[in-house]
Structure 1
Amino acid sequence: MIPPESDPFDDLIAAAERSAVHLELRDTYAVDPESKDYAAWLAGDTSSRTRDSDRERRKPWLDLVRDTVARGVEMRRARVVSLPPTDYIRFEHSGAPLNIEAGEQVRWLDRADAVDLLLPGADLWLFDRKVVRFGLFSGDGALLGYEIIDDSAVASRVATAFEAVWERAVPHDRFRI
């Protein structure tokens, strides 16, 4: 397992030529960089100060999305979520417009509508349908690390699973939580 501090994501996204797709399967995450914004959001603070803080905190990501899409790489994110949603999913849903503004496509799928799909056991990024970066989390959502797999059979299965979710998922602007 690759520890979180050695995440190869930057190299993988830089090497992507056509596509980078992200499948998220968890209903909660405990990710330190967003903890302050999440706490403010939970407390009901949706002021412009908080939105500006969120935009500023996410600026490196949003810039990366813009740059990646500008060089012709399609970026798509599909989230399989339980309804009614957890607070964390509601928080993510409220922040998704920034991802979309930057050029990332975002769709949502109610977990109940995915019961007959064969899905991977972990969140993942798939780059150019060749390399998979699995994100490994503890039960409470803490990031443990990553596994990188460049096996074509695994990449093919992951691509099939992602596309099945994508086909059923609802675009962000139409998904109600």
Structure 2
Amino acid sequence: MQEKRIKYIEFSDSLRSLKIYASAIKTFRKYRPEKSNSESGGILLGYVYNRYDEIIKATAPTCLDHRAPFSFIRSKIPAQRKINISWKKSKGCLIYLGEWHTHSEIDPTPSSTDIEMIEKTFKETKMEIDCLYLVIIGLNNTYWVGRKSSKGLVELTKIN
């Protein structure tokens, strides 16, 4: 089966929209639950604009990550290295925007562990923006996308 080629998928709420580009989606599809017995994940890198954000890169899991059928714990050292390299090469424009991982369910939703992780990451990360994104990829290329800010974790709605 050939998969539909898309430029980006867009999610939004009343405050901001988020475009996830094909380059990141390609990584999600490579590690989607149907392709692996373990959860996968990585970091999200992209650009920030006045009314929207763009995720253009999702990093692949590394051998230092903990991967199991119902959990994924990203290793900080290789992720931070990728963030630093991207930031430096882009002269400070391509930045860390959040986390992604897979769930083996048709309609993925964040677990209590996922919520604790994004809240802790938001609190501890020194960022140039006031939010982080959490993307969870489920079976059949389904998505749960949320934005964590000081006001809480809000689910975004797919608009295309």
Greater strand share, 1 or 2? 2
User: TM-score if structure 2 supplies the norm length?
Assistant: 0.31
Greater helix share, 1 or 2? 1
User: TM-score if structure 1 supplies the norm length?
Assistant: 0.29
